[in-house]
Structure 1
Amino acid sequence: MQRDLTVVQALNEALDLLLTEDDKILLLGQDIGKNGGVFRVTENLFNKFGDHRVVDTPLSEAGIVGCAIGLALNGLKPIVEIEFFGFIYPALEQILSHLSRLRMRTQGKYEVPLIIRAPYGAGVRAPELHSESIESLFFQSPGVKVVIPSNPYDAKGLLIAASEGHDPVIFLEPMRIYRSMRHPVPQHRYTVPLGKANVIKEGKDISIICWGAMVWNVIKAADQLENTQGISVEIIDLRTLYPFDMDTIKESIRKTQRAVIVHEAPLTGGVGAELAAVIHDRMFGELKSPVKRITGFDVPVPQFSIEDYYLPSSDRIIHEINQMLVSIKR
């Protein structure tokens, strides 16, 4: 049976299912128990599973992640919630110095099946440090997988798939789409495989690679480009940033011979920079133009009045693609 769920509801259902299936799984985070989390993703799970499975922790991100690493090394499967992605900075020591390295450090003797969930991204009028898009910090950390769903169906399936692995996963949830849409989600258990992108719209002129909330801006831009200018856009939702699905990217670009990458994180050093470099390195002879990046600016996420200008809007995506096409004709 399928129901129309929001991303929040789909995640809650996935967590409920995982806690029911596996008594090694437990949740840790600030206010996730009695309050159900700041966005209510863990709502009612405390009442159903108790304070030994849904643990309200002290206000210490380093402590939460450090404890979760210890639990994972001793046979449990913790799922950590960081209230906002920008609050993860105090835990970077634990993540980058320990979590990502333990399999290598122990020559494969120990595994760390740990998921760290965090709401991320701008567009919700949140205060400073509540709208960070710093996925590239973890993208550059071998040993950690980075996953970002763009819809309720993927949110449930990707989270369940992440729980089946033996490696740590950074699972980022775009706040902007937490409750802004409803999509059909099966009630039963299913998975969306990590490392596999989703071609959500086929096209023949340009391939656009995107993820998270930006997928919906790209869809809107693609529809306008096709309806008003006859430009056929293929849209790839990356879903897993690391390891990313290069096979799907290559197959798409071989068809369109043009690539655009859209993300809301800053331009410099972003995930798009690596994707562009790999595409140029492996497919240079098949491209009709250089890879174009449409991103946030190299500044912290600004305050409310200009927050929308910071994000790559559908209008800006259309403008940048038209500029790219004009430069090719010249």
Structure 2
Amino acid sequence: MADSLPQERRFLAALHDDSWPAPSHDSSLEAAGLDPEALVELFESQLTSRHLDLHARRLQARGEGFYTIGSAGHEGNAAIARAFRPSDPAFLHYRDAAFMIQRSRAVPDQMPIRDLLLSFAASAEDPISGGRHKVLGSRRLNIPPQTSTIASHLPKAVGAAHSLGLWRRLGGGGEWPRDSVVLCSFGDASFNHSTAQGALNAAGWAAWQGAPMPLVMVCEDNGIGISMPTPAGWIAASMRAHPGFHYLACDGLDLLDTWQVAREAAHIARTHRQPVFLHMHCVRLFGHAGSDAQQAYLPAARIEADEARDPLLVSAGLLRRHGVLSVEEIAERYRSIGERVAQEAEAVIRRPKLESAEQVMASILPPSRSGRRLAWQGQVEASPAPMARLINQALQRLMTCYPHLVLAGEDIGRKGGVYGVTQRLQAQFGPHRVIDTLLDEQSILGLGIGLAQSGLVPILEIQFLAYLHNAEDQLRGEAATLSFFSNGQYTNPMVVRIAGLGYQKGFGGHFHNDNAIAVLRDIPGLLVACPSSGAEAVGLLQEAVRLADEEQRVVVLLEPIARYHARDLLEEGDDRGCCVDPGPDYRLAVGELGQWGEGRDLAIVSYGNGVHLSRQAAVRLEEEGIALRLIDLRWLTAIDHDALYRRVADCEGILVVDECRRSGSPSEELITGLVERGVASERLARLTAEDSFIALGPAATVTLPSVAGIVERALALLGRSGA
């Protein structure tokens, strides 16, 4: 073949000579528990995967294909697929095409060759992503799509495994059968990523305490991560004695050994509900991807040795050794599968592609579903209370009205949260619904994603905004992208409560006072809300849960810590910072604005602590004869700029008070939106925090907007001098 690769030529040469490498284990089919027909089936799945890899490179060379991170050398995972049920959710490594092809055989009416080629060609008819990305995934095969993962999918696999036991406690339900096992695969280089280590630790930590964790983590160890070799023995040494895990190893080049060990892994996880680390030794062929020239960093002897360990050679040798297929029959299968792939490819490349921004963005927002809220039968407290107390009351109602709602976070149960917001909830609803997690934000968010993907609605708590930043990819790369990359077929709706922002009188310095929210606001599809009062916190939280339950959205509620227990507004003892609980039906829709006053001299636009400060500044400004109105944004994403313009257009001046940093703050978007709608720049001003971290002690507020600063900026904008 003129355009064949060395691996293909080597296989054809082995066919010609009927000379094959010996498997690592000398086992009979009967001893392995595999009949001849099953061995042929596995081999055909391996051949199909290989021909797809080969043809992906040919399509790329023609400008018709767009992804060449292939599965060559990892095709032994076909045997792992056969060892598990098609109803077992599988979060797959990007080199697991043979797994998906083999699983397709267990489900009627599947066309894996066409489906994978549609993905290679970025066709809008790709059944999993709709042409948005090359991902391995299928709704009918229970394979949720993963992006080009570097272990970022492991925490949600832990969450999905935990959800199976949780659904049992709740009396049934969920996406998967109760006795399912969650399977998750990844590479040996990704094993070293902090996300992987956090997930392995979380799974072992839970299992150590007796929590059900029916999870099989498959590390497909080919010995190299792009160009960096994995130290020999590192994976095994790291995991053999890992607390909470069963460690098993197999030769991924030998189908019989892989099949036997994978069956044992499935049995342990399904029967004992404990996590298994399945270490599959394999080899990487063709380099990392189509553009990777591995001869630049690997010696020729190493490349040749790897090619000699091609699992297709070993599998063909097994078929010959056990007298299952003749050389001619192997050759015929190789030829016919290759021809079928080529023929399908020629049809696929003519299928429609995504052509507009609207088409690309159509699945950023997930589809709606029927709500599952029960009617509230209790009483609502009539006494005014601070924000923390009102959030606690709302959470209690929500947990009662949504039996499938689960809380999770550090210290939220027995302690009731660092600020007491979740007090007494664990005692009322149990530790299975109010989960005290380990101290790891990646694991907390991953737990929530897995719970949500199984059909639950989690409310996660991140203790401080600054703690989010080590885990933000769980929102950016996982939670907010699942609907996009699955064309709306998979979702992980959830609510994330984050305590944050400043004005805590210097407590804790910048790790407990953080006003950087740009990382949240630029994630497509993610909603961010920020209350300025207890009543608004209730309205936003209750709407956030409705959005997650009915519209399958991912919502972040940024709660100003300084407002949690604040009772006063203007002077000590006035209790004007407290609110009456607005009740279970009070919800603040996305984009809905709040307003105080009708003055036309000045409009102040703010949110969170900025509203509190602006209400204090309003007293002084009114003493200067300025009639003003105060607009509370409430939602910091999906801002209704037209509605905001209508609220402020008739005012002489418009001041945006923004407690976040000047660079990357909401005020940038707000000012731009008003200018785009014709507001002259001389009518606009903004007061923001400095581009600085927050200091400790008396200096804690000097970089933040203040009452005096608001008054000064407002007077300057209106051309007036204050008393």
Match of residue 276, structure 1, among 664, 668, 671:
671
2:561 match: 175
- Comparing 261-270 with 144-153, greater Cα deviation is found at 261-270
Does the CA-based 8 Å contact 1:294-1:320 persist in structure 2? yes
How big is each residue's C-alpha offset from its partner over 1:279-311, in whole Å with a ceiling of 9 and x where there is no partner? 111223xx3725211011111112222112222
1:64 match: 444
Aligned-residue Cα RMSD (Å) equals 1.5
Change beyond 3 A, Cα 1:188–1:162: closer
Displacement of 1:196 in angstroms is 0.5
How big is each residue's C-alpha offset from its partner over 1:92-149, in whole Å with a ceiling of 9 and x where there is no partner? 1111111111111111112322011011111112223111112222111111000001
Which sections of structure 2, spanning at least 5 residues, go unmatched? 1-379, 568-577
Partner Cα distance (2:669, 2:582) in 1: 35
Which sections of structure 1, spanning at least 5 residues, go unmatched? none
Change beyond 3 A, Cα 1:114–1:254: same
| 2:555 is the counterpart of 1:160 | no
Partner Cα distance (2:640, 2:513) in 1: 26
- Comparing 177-186 with 31-40, greater Cα deviation is found at 177-186
| 2:601 is the counterpart of 1:221 | no
**% of aligned pairs identical?**
30
Partner Cα distance (2:557, 2:678) in 1: 30
Match of residue 317, structure 1, among 697, 700, 710:
710
Q: Which amino acid aligns with 1:133?
A: N
Does the CA-based 8 Å contact 1:28-1:64 persist in structure 2? yes
Partner Cα distance (1:301, 1:117) in 2: 21
Q: Which amino acid aligns with 1:231?
A: I
1:240 match: 635
SS in 1 for 2:580: strand
How big is each residue's C-alpha offset from its partner over 1:157-194, in whole Å with a ceiling of 9 and x where there is no partner? 11011000120111011011111121122344422223
Q: Which amino acid aligns with 2:563?
A: I
Match of residue 307, structure 1, among 691, 700, 708:
700
SS in 1 for 2:718: helix
Displacement of 1:243 in angstroms is 1.1
1:129 match: 511
Change beyond 3 A, Cα 1:164–1:187: closer
Partner Cα distance (2:584, 2:678) in 1: 40
Partner Cα distance (1:288, 1:77) in 2: 44
1:298 match: 691
SS in 1 for 2:383: strand
| 2:645 is the counterpart of 1:250 | yes
SS in 2 for 1:326: coil
How big is each residue's C-alpha offset from its partner over 1:235-287, in whole Å with a ceiling of 9 and x where there is no partner? 10000111113233111222114221111111112110111111111223xx3
Change beyond 3 A, Cα 1:68–1:188: closer
1:149 match: 531
Partner Cα distance (1:4, 1:192) in 2: 19
Displacement of 1:67 in angstroms is 1.3
Does the CA-based 8 Å contact 1:258-1:288 persist in structure 2? no
Does the CA-based 8 Å contact 2:404-2:456 persist in structure 1? yes
SS in 2 for 1:235: strand
Partner Cα distance (1:251, 1:40) in 2: 39
1:50 match: 430
Does the CA-based 8 Å contact 2:604-2:657 persist in structure 1? yes
Q: Which amino acid aligns with 2:558?
A: L
1:267 match: 662
Does the CA-based 8 Å contact 2:603-2:655 persist in structure 1? yes
Does the CA-based 8 Å contact 2:503-2:562 persist in structure 1? yes
Does the CA-based 8 Å contact 1:195-1:244 persist in structure 2? yes
Does the CA-based 8 Å contact 2:466-2:512 persist in structure 1? yes
Match of residue 91, structure 1, among 463, 467, 471:
471
SS in 1 for 2:688: strand
2:114 match: none
Q: Which amino acid aligns with 2:635?
A: T
Does the CA-based 8 Å contact 1:234-1:252 persist in structure 2? no
Q: Which amino acid aligns with 1:323?
A: A
Q: Which amino acid aligns with 2:638?
A: P
The TM-score with structure 1 as length reference comes to: 0.94
Does the CA-based 8 Å contact 2:652-2:718 persist in structure 1? no
Displacement of 1:18 in angstroms is 0.9
Q: Which amino acid aligns with 2:489?
A: K
How big is each residue's C-alpha offset from its partner over 1:61-105, in whole Å with a ceiling of 9 and x where there is no partner? 001101111111111000000111111112111111111111111
Does the CA-based 8 Å contact 1:3-1:187 persist in structure 2? no
SS in 2 for 1:68: helix
Q: Give the 4+ runs in structure 1 shifted more than 3 A.
A: 186-189
Partner Cα distance (1:288, 1:263) in 2: 18
SS in 1 for 2:496: strand
- Comparing 207-216 with 243-252, greater Cα deviation is found at 243-252
How big is each residue's C-alpha offset from its partner over 1:48-67, in whole Å with a ceiling of 9 and x where there is no partner? 00011000001110011011
Residues 32-43 of structure 1 correspond to what in structure 2 (within 5 A)?
A: 32-43=412-423
Q: Which amino acid aligns with 2:697?
A: F
1:119 match: 499
Displacement of 1:20 in angstroms is 0.7
2:45 match: none
Does the CA-based 8 Å contact 1:238-1:245 persist in structure 2? no
Q: Which amino acid aligns with 2:470?
A: P
The TM-score with structure 2 as length reference comes to: 0.44
SS in 2 for 1:137: helix
Residues 76-87 of structure 1 correspond to what in structure 2 (within 5 A)?
A: 76-87=456-467
Q: Which amino acid aligns with 1:238?
A: L
Match of residue 231, structure 1, among 608, 617, 626:
626
Partner Cα distance (1:108, 1:283) in 2: 37
- Comparing 312-321 with 250-259, greater Cα deviation is found at 250-259
Higher strand share: 1
Displacement of 1:325 in angstroms is 2.3
Q: Which amino acid aligns with 1:195?
A: G
Partner Cα distance (2:598, 2:491) in 1: 39
